[in-house]
Amino acid sequence: MQPGSGARAASPLAPAWLALPRDLNELEPKMWAHDVERTPSGELAVGGVSVEHLAHEFGTPLFVMSEDDFRARARAFKEAFDAAFADVCGGVDVYYAGKSFLCSAVAAWVAEEGLRLDTCSGGELAVAAKAGLPGELLSLHGNNKSDSEIERALDLGVGRIVVDSLDELERVAAIAAARASQDPQHRELRAKVMLRLTPGVHAHTHEFIATAHEDQKFGLSMAPGTASAEFRAEVAGESGEAAAGAVSAAEEAVAAAAGHDSIELLGLHCHIGSQIFESEGFELAASKLLTFLAAMRSAYGVALPELDLGGGYGIAYTPVDTPRPPQQIAQAMAAVVRSTSAELGITPPRISIEPGRAIVGSTTFTLYRAGVTKDVVVDLPGPGEESSETTAVRRYLSVDGGMSDNARPVLYDADYSVVLASRASDAAPQLTRVVGKHCESGDIVVRDAYLPDDAGRGDLLAVPGTGAYCWALSSNYNYLGRPGVVAVRHGSARWIVRGETEQDLLSRDMGV
């Protein structure tokens, strides 16, 4: 087929959600940083810097992040939640989830915009320390923290350790107690702790499900009967068999924390899932945790002044994704915290949240250079109502990265979108699968997208929405260097994480 000669018709191979675009050169605003645009020449630019300039200066593949967009999204969360919760608990502490993407520049921006930082390993704590963030702005997560990670968190004076299990609670208590007894400087040390609970609410995109038991590795179960045999025996002795049968692992942890002088129990935490668009799941989790919090306050005389409702707010990867603005989510959650606290007759706890993807995801696109094109004739299941065709062409367009810089399509079947970035084109739309250069047939970057029929070797392609869980999950599969991340602001671009060189790749090879 000659460039531009394809028919402007939907491909029978396209998934139902993928509409034929009106104009392939248009950018869907919800998927891009606010300062990405097509210049009059047709090329994409971010913050006034053109993609050809970026590719020339920094190479491809390349993560391109708009610093202003990151800062604006971080501020938007903080302002929206502060406003919605002002009358409930005086505002909200927003912890940016560093697991989505972290480097010291981003950690610094987070603090400058009035947010805090959620880490989940010693390595992420090291990045925060490199950025000079004060310990009280940090929290430490993880279902299997090592003793040295706990030690490091205490060294840094983190604002809170989010404890995931009874095993960990006892280790944190013992490590803090040992410090207090051995070091006169730490005599008053009490480890600040939150307990991560599993409320039996799972949310994923448009659905949420509520179950009694959580079949997963994270957190302390709130389901009745999940406490240890020892704790149940203790409760049976004091309050009878029926009460013992109802106690949960979460309650056992509250009781244990309350009994340790070396622990300051700040409150409760939950995280119900990721890429969530509806607020019902968050609302149900909030009301379950508040009810439990009220019960624990009266049963154990603990103050539990804080409640963290986790992250998980969804973003647009494709035109059919419908994220809601932070104001809407915040108002819906504030309404539930306000009314449930009033019903329970309790002072609302200070609320915190942990958004990652919703802050960083859409700030970034990945820039690839296109290479080989291959058209494959695919048999159709049977002639459709509108066409008697029995075959259709699927185009494979290979780029110079792949599953090593974006594992999400392989890991989660995640869908992405793509545009021709180095120029505009009037060619007809061609259903295209953008694939990587790895030795895996599942190495897909964008499963289904319409690209101009003349897009091919030498063109730059841009895949939006790659700010979260792409660089963070990247690998060196097939000895590809991990791409670097460039931040663009005020018309100039700089590495915030440089790309790996061949020398980096060989630096840990100990030789023959």
Ligand X SMILES: Cc1ncc(COP(=O)(O)O)c(C=O)c1O
Rounded Cα–Cα distance for residues 483 and 469 (Å): 14
Selected from 354, 443, 448, 454, the binder of ligand X by CB under 6 A is 354
**Lookup result for tokens 């931040």:** 487
- Among the listed residues 89, 103, 120, 439, the single catalytic one is 439
- Using CB under 6 A as the binding rule, whether residue 97 contacts ligand X is answered as yes
Q: Are 415 and 400 in contact (CB under 8 A)?
A: no
Which one of 59-67, 68-76, 93-101, 410-418 is the stretch in contact with ligand X (CB under 6 A)? 93-101
Q: Where are the alpha helices (DSSP H) in 240-366?
A: 241-246, 249-258, 280-300, 326-344, 357-360
- Name which of 255 and 358 has its Cβ closer to ligand X: 358
Other CB atoms within 10 A of residue 199 CB: 26
- Using CB under 6 A as the binding rule, whether residue 141 contacts ligand X is answered as yes
Question: Directed axis angle between helix 249-258 and helix 280-300, to 10°?
Answer: 50
Q: Are 227 and 235 in contact (CB under 8 A)?
A: yes
Q: Are 141 and 119 in contact (CB under 8 A)?
A: yes
Nearest CA among 101, 95, 167 for reference residue 138: 95
Nearest CA among 228, 274, 279, 272 for reference residue 249: 228
- Name which of 47 and 356 has its Cβ closer to ligand X: 356
- Using CB under 6 A as the binding rule, whether residue 100 contacts ligand X is answered as yes
Which one of 84-92, 354-362, 371-379, 498-506 is the stretch in contact with ligand X (CB under 6 A)? 354-362
Which one of 96-104, 129-137, 202-210, 419-427 is the stretch in contact with ligand X (CB under 6 A)? 96-104
- Name which of 43 and 354 has its Cβ closer to ligand X: 354
> Residues at the annotated binding site?
312, 354-357, 408, 412, 440, 469
| Residue 44 beta carbon to ligand X: minimum distance, rounded to whole angstroms | 26
Which one of 77-85, 333-341, 353-361, 370-378 is the stretch in contact with ligand X (CB under 6 A)? 353-361
> Residues at the annotated binding site for pyridoxal 5'-phosphate?
312, 354-357, 469
Rounded Cα–Cα distance for residues 161 and 118 (Å): 10
Which one of 171-179, 349-357, 363-371, 440-448 is the stretch in contact with ligand X (CB under 6 A)? 349-357
Rounded Cα–Cα distance for residues 301 and 387 (Å): 71
Rounded Cα–Cα distance for residues 31 and 39 (Å): 18
Q: Is residue 120 annotated as a catalytic residue, yes or no?
A: no
At 381 the three-state DSSP class reads coil
- Using CB under 6 A as the binding rule, whether residue 408 contacts ligand X is answered as no
- Using CB under 6 A as the binding rule, whether residue 358 contacts ligand X is answered as yes
Cis-peptide, bond into residue 61, ω within 30° of zero: yes
| Residue 274 beta carbon to ligand X: minimum distance, rounded to whole angstroms | 4
| Residue 228 beta carbon to ligand X: minimum distance, rounded to whole angstroms | 24
Using CA atoms, how far residue 458 sits from 21, 55, 371, 400, 443, in Å, is 23, 11, 6, 11, 20
Q: Are 250 and 220 in contact (CB under 8 A)?
A: yes
Rounded Cα–Cα distance for residues 129 and 458 (Å): 41
- Using CB under 6 A as the binding rule, whether residue 311 contacts ligand X is answered as yes
- Name which of 352 and 398 has its Cβ closer to ligand X: 352
C-alpha Rg value of the chain to the nearest Å: 25
- Using CB under 6 A as the binding rule, whether residue 274 contacts ligand X is answered as yes
Strand-pair partners of 497: 485
Instruction: Give the list of residues 6+ apart from residue 455 with CB closer than 8 angstroms, or none.
Output: 370, 397, 420, 425, 427, 430, 432, 461
Rounded Cα–Cα distance for residues 376 and 371 (Å): 16
Rounded Cα–Cα distance for residues 300 and 236 (Å): 16
| Residue 488 beta carbon to ligand X: minimum distance, rounded to whole angstroms | 22
Selected from 81, 109, 313, 365, the binder of ligand X by CB under 6 A is 313
Selected from 98, 312, 401, 436, the binder of ligand X by CB under 6 A is 312
Nearest CA among 345, 324, 247, 223 for reference residue 281: 324
The site map against ligand X for 51-90 (x = CB under 6 A) is: ----------------------------------------
- Using CB under 6 A as the binding rule, whether residue 310 contacts ligand X is answered as yes
Which one of 253-261, 310-318, 341-349, 471-479 is the stretch in contact with ligand X (CB under 6 A)? 310-318
- Name which of 271 and 423 has its Cβ closer to ligand X: 271
> Residues at the annotated binding site for substrate?
357, 408, 412, 440, 469
| Residue 14 beta carbon to ligand X: minimum distance, rounded to whole angstroms | 28
| Residue 243 beta carbon to ligand X: minimum distance, rounded to whole angstroms | 31
The site map against ligand X for 243-272 (x = CB under 6 A) is: ----------------------------x-
Selected from 357, 369, 395, 408, the binder of ligand X by CB under 6 A is 357
Tokens of 161: 């350790």
- Name which of 354 and 415 has its Cβ closer to ligand X: 354
How many residues form the binding site for ligand X (CB under 6 A)?
A: 16
- Name which of 85 and 96 has its Cβ closer to ligand X: 96
Q: Are 399 and 367 in contact (CB under 8 A)?
A: no
Q: Are 450 and 68 in contact (CB under 8 A)?
A: no
| Residue 329 beta carbon to ligand X: minimum distance, rounded to whole angstroms | 11
- Using CB under 6 A as the binding rule, whether residue 149 contacts ligand X is answered as no
Binding stretches for ligand X (CB under 6 A):
97, 99-100, 141, 271, 274, 310-313, 354-358, 468
The catalytic residues are 439
